[in-house]
Homo-oligomer: A and B are copies of this chain.
Amino acid sequence: MTTLEDYLGKNAERMDKVINRYFGDLHGDLFKASAHLLLAGGKRLRPAVVILSADAVKSGSSDDLLPAALALELTHNFTLIHDDIMDGDVTRRGVPTVHTVWGEPTAILAGDVLYAKAFEFICLSDAADIAKVRATTMLARTCTDICDGQSMDIAFETKDDVSEMEYLEMVSKKTGVLYGAAAAIGGILAGANTVQADALYQFGVNSGVAFQIQDDLIDLYASSEKSGKDQASDIREGKQTLIAIKAREKGLDLSSYRRKLTATEIADVITLLEDAGIIDEVRAIAVERATVAKEALSILPDTEERRLLGEIADFFIDRSF
């Protein structure tokens, strides 16, 4: 029985090879810029979801779907390049962001190139034409949703009354739908019917939301040494996470923590949030989303691939960094 860790490791190796073949030796600033983050590594989780979903629908069908798996990674990377410009972030995956190296105009274009390549690679997959048209439509609608999610996220920066529902819509669009599309597109290209494709989409969206909520918890709990990021940066920046929203709804004022925090102060705010039951509630929502994700898979045949997809949902909420 393959463990998820082994599976993801082998998948990342395989995707790295595919990425190297297409993006490892490009000429000119624009194409080098578009390959920059892709070549900086990553867990290749979305390609793994594409391939597992295809095989969960029809055993062995993923053999010719590497281009589609790559398409989802390209879409993810295009959004990272554009988001980094908007957010003014200077490093990602341990390397300088694209606009930091090549400037904003080339970074905008580099994202646009990956965007085009994503659609091109969906069509390069070995699948029925009707399936490619469905997959293309799904990818297009997903990209619109992602833009909407990022736009909401930017708007949240100047709002202090974001509701739990608004937060969940934002993370569903910003993070969830691309996992939903990865699962559904894998299934569709393998010949999934509408019910199966919908189930895979629900699996992906809910897993993605769980992933993002866990990310917020990790920001609070993981030490800088462990995560490579500033601990409790969301609290310090007053970010509207599910934790902050629930705290506000319970009348807990975190505004005094919007500044550089010592380790003791971080421990204090964690105790405050735990004592108010907020951490348990947030954690429960992540667990619930992962459960909904796994339940959606129940209409698929009981296979190794279905099991691994379920384990991905569990992994998303169990990871500690």
| Chain A contacts to B: CB under 8 angstroms | 28-30, 82, 85-86, 104-106, 108-109, 111-113, 115-117, 119-120, 122-124, 128-130, 132-133, 136-137, 139-144, 147-148, 150-151, 154-155
Contact = CB atoms under 8 A, between A and B. Distances in A.
A112 B30 contact: no
A154 B119 contact: no
Given A82-B108, A85-B108, A151 B29 contact: yes
Nearest to A121: B140
Nearest to A106: B151
Contact of A151 (B109, B141, B154): B109
A30 B124 CA distance: 31
A295 to B, nearest CB: 30
A201 B120 CA distance: 18
A57 B109 CA distance: 34
By CB atoms of chain B within 10 A, which of A104, A136, A150 has the most? A136
Contact of A119 (B85, B105, B108, B136): B136
B28 A151 contact: yes
Given A29-B155, A115-B115, 12 more contacts: A30-B148, A85-B104, A106-B151, A112-B115, A112-B147, A113-B143, A116-B142, A116-B143, A117-B144, A123-B140, A132-B133, A132-B136
Given A132-B129, A133-B123, A136-B136, A147 B86 contact: no
A133 to B, nearest CB: 5
